[in-house]
Amino acid sequence: MAEELRFAALGGVGEIGMNAYLFGYGESWMLVDLGLGFADDRLPGVDIVLPDPRFLEAEKDRLAGLVLTHAHEDHLGAVPYLWPRLGCPIWCTRFAAAVLRRKFADFGISAGDAVHEVAPRQNFRVGPFRCRFLHVTHSIPESNALVIDTPAGRILHTGDWKLDPAPLLGPPTDSEGLEEVGNARVLAMIGDSTNVLSAGSSGSEAELRDSLMELVAAQPNRVVFTTFSSNIVRMETAILAGVAAGRRPFVIGRSMRRMLEAAREVGYLADLPPLGEEREIMDLPRHRVMALVTGSQGEARSALQRIAQGSHPRLRLERGDTVIFSAKIIPGNERVLFDLHNQLVSQGVEVITEEDHFVHVSGHPCRDELEQMYRWIRPKIAIPVHGEARHLQAHVRFAKRLGAEQVLLVSDGDLVRLAPGPATVIGRIPVGRLAVDGGELVDADDELFRTRRRLAGNGVVSVSVVLDEHGSLLADPRVSVAGVVPPARLERLKGALVEAVAEAIEALDDEAVLEDREVEEAVRVAVRQALDLPRERRPLVETNITRLGPEALARLEDESEGALTR
């Protein structure tokens, strides 16, 4: 193990989001990115999930540092939640550092001198790993590929990237630097798979700006524009399009405002036109409003969701207004977003997405760009990441066709030995997901979420019984039912449920009726039989048992007699 070069993903393989990648050499580890993901319907009541850090915590003394390739939430968003458990040094570029400082401030975290700012092509060392960033274009400033040199070989971790021929913010992808890296022999490339199924190239933000200028100018009433908060150049385009059409720009949503602040802090958007105050937005004529809002993925507490529900304190939409969704739907968010689109359309609002108009270009490489990267790097080993299973499988076939000697299809938790010898999976490390629930971190496999799913899908029956010291019923059981059967059927069933519960308790033998667990199981079986539901419908049955001894019964009798005489 002393000379082994290893790789493992804690998140980001087989999914879009939650990127967290580990590189090991000898006794040391380096973590690259620590992002969050969107929760799906398996975690009701939860918006975001994080990679489980238990392996990192167990290896804390060997964790040399965390390197952040860029400031997207799916690469950086878990840091304020999990970094206090790790306490390791952090390396990133200036913009990512500005974003991270704001997040730490929001969480009340003092990072001291843990955050180290480095520029592209600047060498820095993380334990035994000699590293440097190479700038790549993406949908956020200062995105980087990471070159990792070790005694066992060189790795290129592509991060999120594309080849934008005309970027509007920052320089083009450092193709010269990438070509130099490839000429010096690359053992392994860990590569973005998001758009491997898409032919051609991803397109340019410059072309998109022209399209959005025309689109905004053509709208008759209010324009609401939503995109990822981190897409600084897209927000700049929307603001400029609004101003060019004679509209006043507004930014609604804390995450958008914080990203704009971070961008300005490091010197971007210096010439951005002034923004309006939210309180003024409803005082302007409708054709003068250009509102940038959070909620491009339908997030439950986003500004756009509240606007659609009519609960936003500042902005209301009316028939004839327009909402532009300038973002790709992240897999898993389809149902939520389609519901949001339908809600807006039913109010007479015009909804425009990439299906209707040229309103979005991806920040990830399509097949032509991927092919160019393989020509530059020529890796001996390719490991596809950042994609669902279908993306990873397609990337495996593509990499083989482009000449990679070995292509590994891995899963989160697979521990891969890259060198010495052929690359191979040599074991597993513990992985999982943590759900952010009410500010607390809860294991995604916790009983809490199984209970919520059962409640949401099957309903709940609550039963209260009062027994004496011998286990005899002192009154009819009380039964309440929620979300199990239609109200009309419930009225017909109530008497049968009470009778079934009473009979089940009375049928227990003298020893069993004195055990709460036995009573609860008898009630559960009786309730389900009386409801006569399909096998797949299994409502949660909660039983509250009160046992009264002789003294308690005597007090109740005395209180009852006293009430009658008063």
Burial grade of 50 (CB within 10 A; 0-12, 13-18, 19 or more): buried
453-472 tens-digit pLDDT: 877 788 888 999 999 888 88
- Do 124 and 144 form a contact (C-beta atoms < 8 A)? no
pLDDT given at position 556:
59
Of 256-270, 274-288, 349-363, 536-550, where does mean pLDDT reach its minimum? 536-550
Q: For position 460, which CATH number holds? A: 3.10.20.580
pLDDT single digits (tens) 260-298: 999 999 999 988 999 999 999 999 999 999 999 999 998
Question: Phi and psi of 20, rounded to 5°?
Answer: -160, 115
Residue 525 placed within a domain: yes
Residue-level pLDDT at 493 = 85
Write out pLDDT tens, residues 486-518.
Answer: 888 888 888 899 999 999 999 999 889 899 999
Q: Is the predicted pLDDT of residue 173 greater than 70, yes or no?
A: yes
- The reported pLDDT for the residue numbered 565 is 45
Q: Model confidence at 558, in pLDDT bands (50, 70, 90)?
A: low
What mean pLDDT is predicted for residues 120-126? 98
Where is pLDDT greater, at 165 or 397?
A: 397
* Whole-number Å distance between alpha carbons of 227 and 484: 40
pLDDT band for position 566 (cuts 50, 70, 90): very low
Of 417, 439, 461, the last residue of a domain is 439
The pLDDT of residue 194 is: 95
Backbone angles phi, psi at 370, to 5 degrees: -60, -40
Average pLDDT of the chain to the nearest whole number: 92
The whole domain housing 530 covers 447-565
Spell 235-266 as b/e; 16+ CB within 10 A means b. bbbbbbbbbebebbbbbbbebbebbbebbeeb
pLDDT of residue 178: 98
Burial of 233 (0-12, 13-18, 19+ CB in 10 A): buried
For residues 81 and 12, state if they share a domain.
yes
**Residue 209: per-residue pLDDT:** 95
User: Do 242 and 157 share a structural domain?
Assistant: no
> In this predicted model, what pLDDT tens digit does every residue of 310-334 receive, in sequence order?
999 999 999 999 999 999 888 778 8
pLDDT reading at 560 higher than 60: no
Which structure tokens are listed for 204?
A: 């340019």
- Does 392 lie in the same domain as 283? no
CA distances, 517 to each of 175, 266, 506, 513, 522 (Å)? 68, 63, 15, 9, 9
Q: Are residues 372 and 296 in the same domain?
A: no
How many domains does the chain contain in total? Answer: 3
User: In this structure, are 368 and 343 located in the same domain?
Assistant: no
Instruction: Tell me whether residue 357 is in a domain.
Output: no
Return the pLDDT at 291: 98
**Do 193 and 229 fall into the same domain?**
no
* End-of-domain residue from the set 317, 352, 387: 352
CATH of the domain at 82: 3.60.15.10
Confidence of residue 192 (pLDDT cuts 50, 70, 90): very high
Sheet containing 129-136, strands listed edge to edge, beginning at the edge strand earlier in sequence: 123-126, 129-136, 143-150, 153-157, 188-192, 381-385, 406-407
The rounded percent of the chain whose pLDDT value lies above 70 is 97
Looking at the fold, whether 25 and 79 belong to one and the same domain comes out as yes
**Per-residue pLDDT reduced to its tens digit, 49-76:** 999 999 999 999 999 999 999 999 999 9
Residues 221 and 78 in one domain: no
Same domain, 332 and 369: no
Domain boundary among 418, 439, 460: 439
